[in-house]
Structure 1
Amino acid sequence: MTDYQRYAVYYAPHPQSDLGRFGNAWLGRDPLANIELTRPALAGLKADDVIAATTSPTRYGFHGTLKPPFTLKQGQSRSGLEAALEKLCADITPVTCGPLTLKSISGFLALIPTDPVAPLEHLAARMVRDLDDFRQPEDATAMNKRRAAGLSARQENYLVTWGYPYVMEDFRFHLTLSNKLDPKQLERFEASLASTAAPLCQTAFIIDDICLFGDPGDGKPFHLLRRFALNRSKMRQ
């Protein structure tokens, strides 16, 4: 079993689903097979512009973060993390939110679920809290880099407690589609993506499994290591 520099718990749609095909193709990469994919041709966007505007999400893979990337604490192992995730997911039922919407937030473009989102927020909180024993605390350099963005008192507390400021009440689930863009770029990309994304935004957004991703380090793309089903049987109890 290969060890990775960091691990993260993400939602990633199945590659055969409409959402998975769209997201993986848009970012030009399949994180499970770890191969490049042909990107779609969209009116108003040149291929080189899309590649330049998606470098960060392409590295991480098409996903929504549930537990941000972390280094394993000394004495913990990938196999132990996987066992804990399997046990945790067996105690959690699938989550249903309102349809996705294409939206620009904080300068980047993303697909974001609409209300009700509380069950999804609770899912992410459990991942952050219940898996924290596996996380190596952040060093001062990493924490100060987070602080440079300007944090509220609550976010500072979350940074110290959980290693990341945007968790719990400050968590906002999103499926990232771009780097941070200037306003004109955002407008152009949103207009070009609107018709392609529209069919993905017509039905409820459902999470019925989650994924463990691994960061091999050196700026290389994250790998999708394993998928864990949530407990559908509990929904019928």
Structure 2
Amino acid sequence: MRYALYFTPAEDAPLTRTASTWLGRDAFSGAVLPREDHPEIGFDEISALTEDPRRYGFHATLKAPFSLKDGCSEADLLEAMTAFCQNHSTFAIPSVVVGQLGPFFALVPETLHPPLQDFAAAVVEFFEPFRAPLSDADIARRNPERLGERQRQNLVTWGYPHVFDDFRFHMTLTGPVPEQRADVMAQLLESRFSPFTRRALAIDSLTLFIEPERGAPFIVHSRQLLSPAPTNGYHHG
């Protein structure tokens, strides 16, 4: 069993429904969802290009998948989630857009948003005491030879290379898309997600996902709301 702390909107939120349909799977229920063909990208190609994010479910990584450290229980983790959410307030990313991270497409902030960076860093640090150290095999899976020195250090210290200054919030929509298909994919995603782009996205919760066994689809275990936003904007205790 592995756990992960992600952001995802509510199960019935229009963005969640749209993204789950796009990926072909609902991470809250585990249900496989029917998808439509697109004139220029057929069902089979979309299915192949969304295979990896489909397993994880629609989310943005805050604390990457981890096994619990010896002596820590799931109940302890849930209690810590409650405490964290009580001490951190809802805030909003001012604008999200469909963007690319290398060959991958994702919903990303239009510009770097410092409160989001601070929030993600707080999640990484607060829940670190629950994380078992990575095995040598886990580290090898991250291809550390392809990482920069700081990212390699992050991987060893925090279990994930993309934390703190290397963190970039992204809600993954595809696996790697071949360069010759990138333009048509961009157009399709811009159209599909236009109701949600270039507008604010509320970061109002923290969601615990679980991977029942290695390689199994991740599924939502529980979602906890952050505290209501204070009148003066983002705050954390």
**Is TM (by shorter chain) over 0.5?**
yes
Give the residue type in structure 1 aligned to 2:44: D
1:210/1:55 CA distance change after superposition, 3 Å = same
Deviates more, 1:85-94 or 1:197-206: 197-206
Q: Of residues 172, 194, 203 in structure 1, which corresponds to 2:199? A: 203
Structure 1 distance, partners of 2:161, 2:63, is: 12
Matched, 1:225 2:221: yes
2:44 counterpart residue number = 48
One-letter code of the match for 1:179?
Answer: G
Whole-Å Cα distance in 1 between the matches of residues 143 and 215 of structure 2? Answer: 22
Name the SS for the 1:29 alignment partner: coil
Aligned residue in 2 for 1:115: 111
Task: Check whether the contact 1:97–1:115 (CA below 8 A) recurs between aligned residues.
Answer: no
Q: Per-residue CA shift, 1:172-206, capped at 9, x if unaligned?
A: 11010111121112222112222121121132111
**The residue matched to 1:122 in structure 2 has which SS?**
helix
Picking from 187, 193, 198, the partner of 2:189 is 193
Q: Which amino acid aligns with 1:219?
A: G
User: Which residue matches 1:20?
Assistant: 16
Q: How many angstroms apart in 2 are the aligned matches of 1:216 and 1:109?
A: 27
Q: Distance in 2 between matches of 1:37 and 1:108?
A: 22
**Structure 1: tracts of 5 or more residues without a match:** none
CA distance in 1, matches of 2:89, 2:217: 30
Equivalent residues in 2 for 1:120-199, closer than 5 Å: 120-199=116-195
1:235 to partner: Cα distance = 4.4
Shift in CA distance, 107/163, structure 1 to aligned 2, threshold 3 Å:
same
- Deviation track 1:74-103 (CA, whole Å, cap 9, x = no partner) reads 111111101001101110011211221111
Q: Distance in 2 between matches of 1:134 and 1:67?
A: 11
- Choose 35-44 or 204-213, whichever is displaced more: 35-44
Distance in 2 separating the partners of 1:235 and 1:150? 44
| 1:214 matched residue in structure 2 | 210
Please report how far the alpha carbon of residue 39 of structure 1 lies from its aligned counterpart in structure 2 after TM superposition. 1.6
Asked whether the equivalents of residues 108 and 186 of structure 1 are also in contact (C-alpha less than 8 Å), the reply is: no
TM-score, normalised via structure 1 length = 0.92
Matches within 5 A, 1:89-100: 89-100=85-96
In structure 2, the CA distance between the partners of 1:153 and 1:218, relative to structure 1 (3 Å rule), is: closer
**Does the Cα contact within 8 Å between 1:138 and 1:163 map onto a contact in 2?**
yes
- 2:54 aligns with 58
Q: CA RMSD in A?
A: 1.7
Q: Measure the CA separation in 2 of the matches of 1:115 and 1:235.
A: 23
Q: CA deviation at 1:233?
A: 5.5
Letter in 1 for 2:127: L
CA spacing shift, 1:157–1:218, aligned 2, 3 Å: closer
Q: Tell me by how many angstroms 1:116 deviates.
A: 5.1
Number of residue pairs matched?
Answer: 233
Structure 2 spans left out of the alignment, 5+ residues:
none
Partner of 1:73: 69
Cα deviation per residue 1:76-133 (whole Å; 9 max; x = unaligned)? 1111101001101110011211221111211111110123521111111111101011
| Percent identity of equivalent pairs | 34
- Relative to structure 2, which stretch is displaced further, 22-31 or 11-20? 11-20
